[in-house]
């Protein structure tokens, strides 16, 4: 397999190319723009065939174009970030409700105001109820692999839902790293052409998309999306296992566990910050801490069963949220607590709000969090449930 030193954004673009995407519709926004610029470069250089690039006037229009193309049976791709994703919000519901497996890369960026172009997960997590699957990449390799798997998972006949692959602004999007690329023949074997269950161009079987759903029918449409999300868990694991068997990088677990076998304390989080957390775990273990890391790869569908199994075996979980739901708490923390409620898994859980607006999470930060969690466990009670860890004191 060829290796390239590329940014996370270029990894996303190459993955879309290797997936033989047929329609790309997008609007530029920092720090996403280089994804669609690279795809435009592929087209200009004659490196791709049968790829229609649709320039549009807004992110809302970009998703509308992807919806139309996907409904017609094409494999479609787009990318955006922050305010652009927010502008798409209405159309995200349309894509999921119409059961269209559009794949989109969202470059996590803090929401304005104040204006920011740095990392924060609130933009993607604000879309959690739209019906999109969400995969959070830790590094550039996972961006590339995630896009390829997203097409296979989303297009599966038991899923038929759109998928969002999420990477961190600048930490991944503009930082270069070694990425193991696949040969086109390998991708073609893993990801055959899309076979839509229905298409607007099937004139022998005409139907409509987005017609009025009366109270007599609407309820069942929502239920079918819920069932597809549950079915997606099985498909995610199957596709992740197949990817690992073929290419040596296993994604069969929706939560990646790192040194948790004998851990008393586990750091849970999503995305690029987990690379720092893993490094901290190695250092802390050399200092006598029995700690581990749990990287949530898939936020939607949420890996409830895997979280429950983990929670049964540890004393404390420090949930690191690079986001916040105003009036409540960190979003990952909120989800995790709700899942463990009314179960026999009852670790002490504390929410640490970290890295908002791109502020760095360091190894020393994780060490201080570990020390705080150790004291809490020894006392058997929380000092406070939410810690705005990076707040300037």
- In this predicted structure, what is the pLDDT of residue 10? 98
Q: What average pLDDT is seen over the chain?
A: 96
Tens of pLDDT, residues 150-176: 999 999 999 999 999 999 999 999 999
Same domain, 17 and 143: yes
Contact assessment for residue 110 and residue 82, using Cβ atoms and an 8 Å cutoff: yes
- In this predicted structure, what is the pLDDT of residue 392? 87
Same domain, 111 and 194: yes
Phi, psi values for residue 109, rounded to 5°: -145, 140
Same domain, 104 and 189: yes
Q: Which of 193, 217, 245 is the last residue of a domain?
A: 245
- In this predicted structure, what is the pLDDT of residue 260? 98
Same domain, 258 and 232: no
Total domains, the chain: 2
Q: Which of 245, 272, 299 is the last residue of a domain?
A: 245
Q: What mean pLDDT do residues 46-75 have?
A: 96
Continuous H helices in the chain: 8-18, 33-44, 59-71, 82-97, 122-125, 140-154, 184-190, 218-247, 273-286, 304-311, 331-340, 363-379
Rg over CA atoms, the chain: 21
Same domain, 204 and 308: no
CATH number of the domain that residue 66 is part of: 3.40.50.970
Is residue 131 predicted with pLDDT exceeding 80? yes
Contact assessment for residue 322 and residue 288, using Cβ atoms and an 8 Å cutoff: no
Q: What mean pLDDT do residues 257-269 have?
A: 98
Same domain, 128 and 98: yes
State the Cα–Cα distance between residues 84 and 31, nearest whole angstrom. 11
Q: Please, which pLDDT band fits residue 57 given cuts at 50, 70 and 90?
A: very high
User: Measuring CA to CA, how many Å separate 214 from each of 90, 94, 218, 219, 223?
Assistant: 20, 16, 6, 9, 15
Q: Which of 197, 223, 245 is the last residue of a domain?
A: 245
Same domain, 184 and 274: no
Q: Please, which pLDDT band fits residue 201 given cuts at 50, 70 and 90?
A: confident
Same domain, 89 and 180: yes
Residue at 162 is within a domain = yes
State the Cα–Cα distance between residues 205 and 207, nearest whole angstrom. 7
Residue at 226 is within a domain = yes
State the Cα–Cα distance between residues 344 and 312, nearest whole angstrom. 7
Same domain, 141 and 285: no
CATH number of the domain that residue 267 is part of: 3.40.50.920
Residue at 393 is within a domain = no
Same domain, 116 and 180: yes
Range of 107's domain? 1-245
Q: Please, which pLDDT band fits residue 273 given cuts at 50, 70 and 90?
A: very high
State the Cα–Cα distance between residues 381 and 57, nearest whole angstrom. 54
Same domain, 151 and 216: yes
């Amino acid at each position: 397999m060829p290796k390239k030193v590329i940014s996370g954004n270029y990894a996303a673009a190459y993955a879309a190319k290797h997936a033989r995407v047929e329609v790309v519709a997008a609007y530029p926004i920092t720090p996403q723009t280089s994804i669609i610029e690279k795809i435009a470069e592929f087209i200009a250089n004659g490196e791709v065939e049968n790829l229609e690039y649709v320039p549009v006037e807004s992110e809302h229009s970009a998703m509308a174009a992807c919806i139309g193309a996907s409904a017609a049976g094409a494999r479609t791709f787009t990318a955006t970030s922050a305010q652009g994703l927010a502008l798409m919000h209405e159309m995200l519901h349309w894509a999921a409700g119409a059961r269209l497996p559009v794949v989109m890369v969202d470059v996590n960026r803090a929401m304005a105001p104040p204006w920011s172009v740095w990392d924060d997960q609130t933009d993607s997590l604000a879309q959690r109820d739209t019906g999109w699957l969400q995969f959070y990449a830790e590094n550039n390799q996972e961006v590339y692999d995630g896009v390829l798997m997203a097409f296979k998972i989303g297009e599966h006949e038991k899923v038929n839902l759109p998928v969002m692959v999420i990477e961190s602004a600048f930490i991944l999007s503009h930082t270069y790293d070694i990425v193991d690329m696949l040969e086109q023949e390998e991708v073609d074997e893993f990801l055959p052409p899309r076979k839509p269950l229905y298409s607007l161009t099937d004139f022998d079987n005409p139907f409509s998309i987005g017609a009025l759903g009366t109270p007599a029918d609407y309820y069942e449409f929502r239920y079918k999306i819920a069932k597809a999300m549950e079915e997606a868990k099985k498909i995610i694991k199957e596709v992740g296992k197949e990817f690992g068997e073929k290419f040596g990088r296993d994604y069969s677990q929706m939560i990646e566990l790192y040194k948790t076998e004998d851990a008393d304390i586990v750091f849970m989080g999503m995305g690029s910050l987990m690379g720092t957390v893993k490094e901290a775990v190695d250092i802390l273990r050399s200092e006598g801490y029995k700690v581990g890391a749990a990287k949530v790869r898939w936020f939607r569908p949420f890996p409830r069963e895997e979280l429950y199994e983990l929670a049964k075996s540890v004393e404390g979980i420090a949930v690191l949220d690079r986001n916040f739901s105003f009036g409540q708490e960190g979003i990952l923390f909120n989800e995790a607590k709700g899942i463990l409620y009314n179960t026999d898994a009852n670790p002490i859980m504390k929410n640490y709000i970290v890295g908002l607006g791109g502020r760095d999470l360091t190894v020393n930060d994780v060490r201080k969090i570990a020390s705080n969690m150790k004291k809490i466990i020894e006392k058997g009670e929380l000092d406070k449930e939410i810690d705005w860890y990076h707040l300037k004191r």
